[in-house]
Amino acid sequence: MIATVTRQKCFNHTSREAAAKCLECGRHFCRECVTEHDERVICASCLAKLSAGKGKLVARMLNIVTVFQFITGFVVIWFAIFYLGQTLLKIPSEFHEGKISKPNLLDAFKE
């Protein structure tokens, strides 16, 4: 296999001898055109494709997290408003009529 790589020319630079074969696309490249990524040798164009794919995955995950945060926030606010309403319903109606609250001191002098 090494003998076949040495006889090949770089895909990008036809005057240079190939140093490695990209494991993704199978083309031959010189030392300047390849890089090591995840313990394998790949060309720059294949690396860009892999990076773009990971970027889409990250964007998808962010969308899922955003939806989950919205639903969680909605549920928390709903429960807070629900229990506030339940607490307000427990206040006896006499409180609103003024029977439970302290009388005004000025009312005592009016009589």
- The pLDDT-based confidence of 3 (bands split at 50, 70, 90) is very low
Domain residue spans of the chain: 2-88
Distances (CA, A) of 17 to 3, 28, 67, 98: 12, 9, 52, 97
DSSP codes joined into one string, 3-72: HHHHTSB-SS-TTSBP-EE-TTT--EE-TTTEEEETTEEEEHHHHHHHHHHHHHHHHHHHHHHHHHHHHH
What is the CATH code for 2-88? Answer: 2.10.110
Report the pLDDT averaged over residues 83-88: 94
pLDDT, residue 74, reads 97
pTM of full prediction above 0.85:
no
The model's pLDDT over 32-78, given as tens digits with 9 standing for 90+, comes to 888 777 777 888 888 877 776 666 777 888 999 999 999 999 999 99
The encoded tokens of residue 12 equal 């990008």
- The pLDDT-based confidence of 101 (bands split at 50, 70, 90) is low
